[in-house]
């Protein structure tokens, strides 16, 4: 990586592999074993180092799964393959747009897709050797399409399935929460009811369902705080 070109595809793939590995980062290696002519061999490996908590890696993966299902990376989606990823673009400077590009629709000098399964991580960069040649239109789909073709080839006969949620997290519907964190984010149902007699009374009722955190066995109940009808002193204001 450098200031001029940013992170390479290799570094991006290695970084995203840490999410796939439960938060463990491994330095990229091109060779893992050499067998010599005399039959002896030498192996090379990287023990890895923890870059983030396992719970953090899992939650990041859960978020980036949605990029492929209804986000900007839909072109990489495969219904049978658990995977996550992210698209990315770079930008032209105001000077480049004004003096060289001379157009104001959405264009970019670089476009990338980085994705991963439990077994593989892959980064695809697309662009031109001349930075001032912009990516436009369908060009923004190329990186995700290349990734999809490659990952499909690698995984169609061999993929390890989905990630297992680590201890310390629980799921509530589509969302994953940390045990002990604020968990009263619950969709609320509001109902307005009007009594028939007397005709001068109205009642507003809010009902919040009881929720159970599936992994920690704790129940949280939010009481109904507005159950009694309120007397309306002004018959003209009834709804």
Using omega within 30 degrees of 0 as the cis cutoff, is the peptide bond preceding 7 cis?
no
The kind and range of the H/E element at 94 are helix 94-96
pLDDT at 98: 94
Tokens of 61: 């993966």
pLDDT at 228: 42
Domain locations in the chain as residue ranges: 9-155, 180-231
The sign of the CA dihedral 46, 52, 56, 62 is: negative
Dihedral pair phi/psi, residue 206, rounded to 5°: -115, 125
pLDDT at 226: 43
Q: 122, 85 in Cβ contact below 8 A? A: no
State the pTM of this model: 0.73
Write the pLDDT tens digit of every residue in 122-135.
Answer: 999 999 999 999 99
pLDDT at 104: 86
Name residues of the chain where pLDDT drops below 70. 1-3, 182-239
CA distance linking residue 169 with residue 183, whole number of Å: 11
Write the pLDDT tens digit of every residue in 152-170.
Answer: 999 999 888 999 999 999 9
Nearest to 51 by CA among 28, 22, 29: 22
Topology annotation, domain 9-155: Beta-lactamase (3.40.710)
């Amino acid at each position: 990586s450098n200031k001029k070109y940013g992170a390479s595809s290799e570094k991006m793939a290695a970084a995203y592999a840490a999410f796939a590995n439960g938060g463990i980062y491994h330095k990229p290696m091109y060779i893992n074993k050499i067998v010599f002519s005399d039959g002896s061999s030498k192996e090379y490996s990287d023990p890895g180092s923890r870059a983030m908590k396992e719970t953090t890696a899992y939650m990041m993966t859960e978020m980036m799964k949605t990029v492929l299902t209804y986000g900007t990376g839909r072109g990489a989606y495969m219904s049978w393959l658990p995977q996550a990823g992210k698209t990315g673009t770079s930008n032209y400077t105001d000077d480049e747009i004004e003096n060289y590009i001379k157009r104001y629709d959405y264009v970019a000098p670089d476009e990338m897709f980085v994705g991963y399964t439990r077994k593989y991580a892959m980064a695809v960069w697309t662009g031109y050797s001349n930075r001032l040649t912009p990516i436009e239109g369908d060009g923004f789909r190329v990186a995700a399409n290349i990734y999809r073709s490659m990952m499909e080839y690698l995984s169609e006969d061999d993929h390890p399935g989905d990630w297992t949620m680590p201890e310390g997290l629980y799921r509530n519907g589509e969302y994953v929460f940390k045990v002990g964190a604020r968990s009263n984010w619950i969709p609320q149902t509001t109902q307005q009811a009007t009594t028939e007699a007397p005709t001068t009374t109205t009642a507003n009722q809010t009902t919040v369902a009881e929720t159970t955190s599936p992994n920690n066995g704790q129940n949280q109940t939010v009481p109904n705080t507005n159950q009694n009808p309120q007397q309306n002193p002004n018959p003209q204001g009834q709804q």
